A = this chain, B = another copy of it.
Amino acid sequence: MTTEQLTDQIHTKKSFLCIGLDVDMTKIPTHLLTTEDPIFEFNKAIIDATHDLCVSYKPNTAFYEAYGIKGWQSLEKTINYINENYPEIFTIADAKRGDIGNTSSMYAKAFFEDLNFDSVTVAPYMGKDSVEPFLAFENKHTIMLALTSNEGAFDFQTKNVAGKELYKVVLETSKNWKNAKNLMYVVGATKAEYFTEIRKIVPHSFLLVPGVGAQGGSLQEVCKYGMSENVALLINSSRGIIYASNGTDFAEKAREEALKLQQEMAVILNK
């Protein structure tokens, strides 16, 4: 998928919502536990109930790997289900990978070819040659961590490097990498005031924004400082939507929560 197609979807659906499919077996409705693949059944119901309200789904690979081969099967079934039924959806493998060149190529192959995701999240610590193998894939997108939404973000990301914070150095440096046009960035919603500075460095790049809802970030604040003229925001909500209920009405309640966010987004887009 191209960024233009993603932007078109945002305007069509009046939504820049990404739903995080971070499925924990201990939190899903108990009536699903007797099915053959509870994680996939859960995802399928959530996806069917919310696909018209969001433009993206983001399974976090950790939640699948924790269940070994069965988990990896659930992940594969989930991405295939989205690609077959809702090809207009922008899919994100939230994997936070990164390694030396030949190894990053294998990760890129895993997520872009084997699983056919539109994008994957990566970590910047190992630098240029750990990210460029991902960027080499046409119409695939690499979403690099810049400023994350957790407390530990202040350990290194905001440390001063030659007069500016490390996350700014990461943003600036990455703009010079080969195929940098395929880069997007993770910027946490809990730090909305930082968006002004970030937009000076990457005015048009898509930003994937976790931390709205469960982690305390405000949608209004993020949009005020972070929205570009081409929107270029994907606001992620995971727990607030998918665990809205743990009864048999979980999908219906998830839709209600997604709808609230979508309606708020529609108002913002109409301004």
A45 within 8 A of B: no
Interface residues of A in 1-59 (CB under 8 A from B): 22, 24
Question: What number of copies of this chain does the assembly contain?
Answer: 2
Contact of A130 among B66, B71, B72, B152 (CB under 8 A): B152
Assess whether B126 is in contact with A148, with CB atoms less than 8 Å apart.
yes
Nearest to A65 among chain B residues (CB) is B110
Nearest to A214 among chain B residues (CB) is B102
Chain B neighbourhood of A156, CB < 8 A: 124-125, 127, 166, 169-170, 173
Residue in A60, A129, A150, A155 whose Cβ sees the most chain B Cβ within 10 Å: A155
A86 within 8 A of B: no
Interface size class of A (residues with CB under 8 A): 35 or more
Contact of A151 among B115, B129, B151, B162 (CB under 8 A): B129
Assess whether A69 is in contact with B66, with CB atoms less than 8 Å apart.
no
Chain B neighbourhood of A22, CB < 8 A: 103
Assess whether A128 is in contact with B152, with CB atoms less than 8 Å apart.
yes
A83 within 8 A of B: no
A62 within 8 A of B: yes
A213 within 8 A of B: no
A260 within 8 A of B: no
Contact of A166 among B100, B106, B150, B161 (CB under 8 A): B161
A-B contacts besides A62-B107, A63-B106, A125-B156, 17 pairs, CB < 8 Å: A62-B97, A62-B104, A62-B110, A66-B110, A68-B76, A69-B69, A69-B73, A94-B99, A124-B155, A125-B148, A126-B145, A126-B148, A126-B152, A126-B153, A126-B157, A127-B151, A156-B166
Task: Pick 22 A–B contacts, CB within 8 A, sort by A.
Answer: A60-B103, A62-B103, A62-B106, A62-B107, A62-B110, A63-B103, A63-B106, A66-B109, A68-B72, A68-B114, A72-B72, A96-B98, A123-B123, A125-B148, A127-B152, A128-B151, A128-B155, A129-B150, A159-B161, A161-B161, A161-B166, A166-B166
Binding site for B on A (CB under 8 A): 22, 24, 60, 62-63, 65-69, 71-73, 76, 94, 96-101, 103-104, 106-107, 109-110, 114-115, 123-131, 145, 148-157, 159-162, 166, 169-170, 173
